[in-house]
Amino acid sequence: MSVSRRCTLLVLVAVTAFASGCSGLSTPSGPKLWRESADASGAPELARINDLLADLAARLQPGLVYVRVQRAAGAKEEPSREEPSEPRRSTGSGFVIDPNGLIVTNAHVVESAGSIQVRLADGRRFPATVVGRDNRVDLALLKIEGAGRLTVLPLGDSNRLRVGELVLALGNPFGLEQSVSFGIVSRKGAPLTVAAPGFDFIQTDAAINPGNSGGPLVNVSGEVVGVNSMAARNGSIGFAIPSNLVKMLLPQLASKGRVDWGWLGVAIAEVTEDDIERLKLREPKGVLVRSVMPGEPADKGGVRADDVILGIDGTRLESPRDLQRVVSSTPVGKRVRVVLLREGQETELEVTIGLYQEREASSVEAPRRTPRPAEPPKEAPK
Q: Which residues are catalytic?
A: 108, 138, 213
Q: Are 197 and 241 in contact (CB under 8 A)?
A: no
Q: In DSSP terms, which residues pair with 101 in a beta bridge?
A: none
Q: What is the DSSP letter of 357?
A: -
Q: Are 239 and 371 in contact (CB under 8 A)?
A: yes
Neighbouring C-beta atoms of residue 320, cutoff 10 Å: 23
What would you report as the CA-atom Rg of the chain, rounded to the nearest whole angstrom? 28
Would you call 18 helix, strand, or coil by DSSP? helix
Strands 179-190 and 201-204: antiparallel
Residue 252 CA to residue 137 CA, distance in Å, equals 13
Residue 146 CA to residue 128 CA, distance in Å, equals 11
Strands 115-119 and 88-98: unpaired
3-state secondary structure 311-331: EECCEECCCHHHHHHHHHHCC
Residue 372 CA to residue 192 CA, distance in Å, equals 6
b/e burial code for range 170-202 (CB count within 10 A of at least 16 → b): bbbbeeebebbbebebbebebbbebbbbbbbbb
Of 310, 293, 300, which Cα lies nearest the Cα of 335?
Answer: 300
Residue 128 CA to residue 116 CA, distance in Å, equals 5
Residue 147 CA to residue 192 CA, distance in Å, equals 37
